[in-house]
Amino acid sequence: MSASATASQTVGPFFRIGLEPLYLADLAPTAAAKKKINFHGRVLDGDAQPVSDAILEIWQANADGRYLHPDDLRESPRDGFTGFGRVPTDAQGRFQFSTVKPGRVAGPNGKAQAPHLVVAIFMRGLLIHLLTRVYFPGDPANADDPILQLVPAARRATLIANAADGGLEWNVILQGEHETVFFDY
Amino acid sequence: MPTRCSDSGRFRIRAAVPKGRLRAFIVRKMSAHKKNVGEAKTEPPGYRRPAPGTQPPYLHPAYASTRKRAPTQPLILLPHTLSEITGPVFGHGAVRAEDADLTKQHDGEPLGERIIVTGRVADEDGRAVANALVEIWQCNAAGRYRHQNDTHDAPLDPNFSGAGRVMTDVEGRYRFVTVKPGAYPWRNHHNAWRPAHIHLSLFGRAFVTRLVTQMYFPGDPLLPHDPIFNGTADEKARNRLVAQFDWDSTAPEHALGYRFDIVLRGRDATPMEK
Are the beta carbons of A84 and A121 closer than 8 angstroms?
A: no
Are the beta carbons of B201 and B135 closer than 8 angstroms?
A: yes
Q: Of the candidates A86, A87, A85, A88, which has an alpha carbon nearest to the alpha carbon of residue A102?
A: A85
| pLDDT at position B270 | 66
| pLDDT at position B42 | 64
Which of the residue ranges A70-74, B25-29, B119-123, B166-170 would you say has the lowest mean pLDDT? B25-29
Are the beta carbons of B83 and A105 closer than 8 angstroms?
A: yes
Q: Of the candidates A163, A177, A174, A145, which has an alpha carbon nearest to the alpha carbon of residue A38?
A: A163
Q: At B12, is the pLDDT very low, low, confident or very high (cuts 50, 70, 90)?
A: very low
Q: Is the pTM of this model over 0.95?
A: no
Q: Of the candidates B268, B264, B129, B126, which has an alpha carbon nearest to the alpha carbon of residue A2?
A: B126
Instruction: Name every residue whose Cβ is closer than 8 Å to that of residue A7 and which is 6 or more positions away in sequence.
Output: B54, B55, B56, B213, B232, B234, B237, B238, B240, B241
Asked if pLDDT for residue A22 goes beyond 80, the answer is yes
State in Å, rounded, how far the first CA of chain B is from the last one. Answer: 48
Q: At A155, is the pLDDT very low, low, confident or very high (cuts 50, 70, 90)?
A: very high
ipTM here: 0.96
B-proximal residues of A, 122-141, CB under 8 Å: 122-131
Residues A167 and A34: their CA atoms lie apart, in Å, by 12
CA dihedral B126, B130, B135, B138 (to 10 degrees): 50
Per residue in A50-89, pLDDT (tens digit) is: 999 999 999 999 999 999 999 998 887 778 899 999 999 9
Average pLDDT over residues B19-46: 52
Residues A59 and B85: their CA atoms lie apart, in Å, by 11
Residues A113 and A146: their CA atoms lie apart, in Å, by 6
Asked if pLDDT for residue B5 goes beyond 70, the answer is no
Q: At A110, is the pLDDT very low, low, confident or very high (cuts 50, 70, 90)?
A: confident
Residues A70 and B89: their CA atoms lie apart, in Å, by 9
Are the beta carbons of A135 and A161 closer than 8 angstroms?
A: yes
Residue B203 host element (H or E) = strand B197-203
Shortest Cα–Cα distance, A160 to chain B (Å): 16
Asked if pLDDT for residue B221 goes beyond 80, the answer is yes
Interchain contact A107–B (C-beta under 8 A): yes
Asked if pLDDT for residue B6 goes beyond 50, the answer is no
Interchain contact A145–B (C-beta under 8 A): no
Residues A115 and B133: their CA atoms lie apart, in Å, by 28
Shortest Cα–Cα distance, A95 to chain B (Å): 17
Instruction: Pick the residue from chain A with its C-alpha nearest to B5.
Output: A21
| pLDDT at position B272 | 53
Average pLDDT over residues A22-45: 96
Per residue in B50-86, pLDDT (tens digit) is: 999 999 999 999 999 999 999 999 999 999 999 999 9
Asked if pLDDT for residue A170 goes beyond 80, the answer is yes
Are the beta carbons of B180 and B141 closer than 8 angstroms?
A: yes
Average pLDDT over residues A31-57: 97
Number of Cβ within a 10 Å radius of residue B15: 12
Per residue in B170-212, pLDDT (tens digit) is: 999 999 999 999 999 999 999 999 999 999 999 999 999 999 9
Average pLDDT over residues A85-113: 96
Asked if pLDDT for residue A151 goes beyond 70, the answer is yes
Q: Of the candidates B39, B32, B19, B44, which has an alpha carbon nearest to the alpha carbon of residue B205?
A: B44
Shortest Cα–Cα distance, B219 to chain A (Å): 19
Q: Which of B147, B150, B228 sits opposite A10 (nearest CB)?
A: B228
Are the beta carbons of B140 and B89 closer than 8 angstroms?
A: no
| pLDDT at position B9 | 34
| pLDDT at position A76 | 76
